Structure 1
């Protein structure tokens, strides 16, 4: 998928994502506009291009249109006071946006297995308005195996997974709150972005949204 929503600056990038009908949630757009992508990529990267950017250690930050697409799918589960888990949090960019959406009364947990990215993402988040959530203990980035989630913070209203799992991780499904939603890329060579809804009675419903290409969940 290529949406070509590049901007000459960050505000133009966010505006183009909205104009193309990808970033459909006003709340997500507001939160995204407060977290400059430039802070989360290397100095040599192209932060306002609508394309993935390499952030080191075999990891990338997803293209803005994919972040926007996932935020739009999860927006109803990211209201103030709700709880969200960001698996494979990487650069920390989306973790910061998610944190601003659930706010001071919510809880945001990023899980990343590369120590250097954990440290770097914390430093970057602290340079944004989401840094105050970190100071309050409402947002944290944990060094852990993403496939196992973070049981201590469960259950979650929303779970975003930023890397492709070969199969749907049982631990993440278990940590999803009844009435909650997970968005996760699933597959190896051929991948699909899958919406996983846990109904109030605990029943799991899965829907394939679009074909995607993500780095593997390691």
Structure 2
């Protein structure tokens, strides 16, 4: 007893402040590992997908993507197209990726950013640290041809890569024809060196961690009523400018971003000024005609398909819905389950003695019954599967036709003009 009492006394003699520090250290450790916000820091908040659509399905299921407009933009652009070829296998994981200067944030982060920006057609957008252009391109699908879409990137090689990916999207993706696009423009420079007298934007996003002392600098890039989304003090933060000197701030999720690179002074002590592209460039008559013709044809295609009862099925203006994909996946799993159950049934029958046929085979009759009843089916589940197949057959049987492209190619116009209307697309 004395020994135990001495040991307890030894514990309580331990300095109280050190015990308190140990206690809080343990609490902090347990919180950092168990908090639901932790996965969003570096991604990994949702399970990996087999393709871009399945990744978007997972982001929707986890409520990172909540609006139809954002969903359509995400489905229109294959994330893997922004990866180098040797790393494409990792494209549909909810993880950030970096190779040299090329960097992509985790899909769950981009989802939260797109939702927080509350994008609408015709707005002006500034992307600070625009990187590969993946986010800017998705934003451009929502802004439409009369919006403004600018990006500032520190590394010239990354801007070159971004323009390559942008050209690839415009020339090869059928999704391009489902939207009216605001093409992004990128400039090289440090986003903390933007011309002080430069114009303000409706929406601003910064893709690097912002130090507290630069918060006001970022706010001043916004118009009244504008929205700024940035990583501030380890939280993805949404700041709305409600008046000339008034702001509303909302913390979204915990994140971990590399901090902004501070400007380097020149020999004369002055920093380099980054000139942004012109806010509103005067469009040529040719460009305006192309926008108008494509818009009119899209409306015509939409009306025709609406009268035919299949507005989004033939590659029209709407983005594909996620419902049929879920249905196909469930059907595939059910079919696999039926096969596994049938095989299990056959295995158990082999373990039990049964009647012999004329060839001393006890398995043949059972296998035939399993093939007829277990896989080929007459059960309610399989009837439901057949009904789903009939309902979704049109979507699964043929690849989507780009109706707008077919419409343009069928116009009685010279070939070069058709190619111009198609943005000289290769596909």
TM-score by length of 1: 0.87
Q: Which residue, out of 53, 56, 72, partners 1:14?
A: 56
Structure 2 CA distance for aligned equivalents of residues 122 and 79 of structure 1: 24
Alignment counterpart, residue 206 of structure 1, candidates 249, 255, 261: 249
Aligned counterpart, 1:93: 134
- C-alpha contact 1:185 1:192 (8 A) present in aligned 2: yes
Find the aligned partners of 2:99 and 2:80 in 1 and give their Cα distance: 12
Shift of the 30–149 alpha-carbon distance from structure 1 to 2, 3 Å rule, reads: farther
Match of 1:166 among 207, 211, 216: 211
Distance 2:195 2:141 in 1: 20
- Listed one character per residue, the Cα deviations across residues 31-61 of structure 1 (whole Å, up to 9, x for unaligned) are 121111112122232111110011322x521
Aligned pairs (5 A) from 1:101-116: 101-116=142-157
Please tell me whether residue 54 in structure 1 is matched to residue 98 in structure 2: yes
The reply on whether 1:145 has 2:186 as its aligned counterpart is: no
- The aligned residue for residue 77 of structure 2 is 35
RMSD value, Cα: 2.3
Stretch moving more, 204-213 or 78-87: 204-213
- Greater helix content: 2
Please state whether the residue corresponding to 2:253 is helix, strand or coil.
strand
Q: Which residue of 1 aligns with 2:106?
A: 63
TM-score (norm 2): 0.46
Q: Is the 8 A contact 2:124 2:201 kept in 1?
A: yes
Alpha-carbon separation, structure 2, partners of 1:151 and 1:116? 26
> 1:149 touches 1:175 (CA, 8 Å); kept in 2?
no
Q: How many residues align?
A: 209
CA-CA distance at 1:137 after TM superposition: 7.8
Please, which moves more after superposition, 142-151 or 11-20?
142-151
Shift of residue 215, structure 1, vs aligned partner: 1.7
1:142–1:108 Cα change, 3 Å:
same
Structure (1 or 2) with the larger CA radius of gyration: 2
Q: Is the 8 A contact 1:85 1:109 kept in 2?
A: yes
1:177 aligned residue (217, 223, 238): 223
CA distance in 1: counterparts of 2:182 and 2:72, whole angstroms: 22
Range that drifts further, 195-204 or 95-104:
195-204
CA–CA distance in structure 2, aligned partners of residues 67 and 210 of structure 1? 12
Provide structure 2 residue ranges, at least 5 long, that are not aligned to the other structure: 1-39, 262-427
The 8 Å contact of residues 48 and 93 in structure 2, kept in 1 or not, is answered as yes
Range with greater deviation from structure 2 (64-73 or 192-201): 192-201
- Asked if 2 retains the 8 angstrom alpha-carbon contact of 1:195 and 1:207, the reply is yes
Task: Give unpaired runs (5+ residues) of structure 1.
Answer: none
Alpha-carbon offset, residue 172 of structure 1: 2.4
Aligned 8 A contact 2:65 2:112 in 1? yes
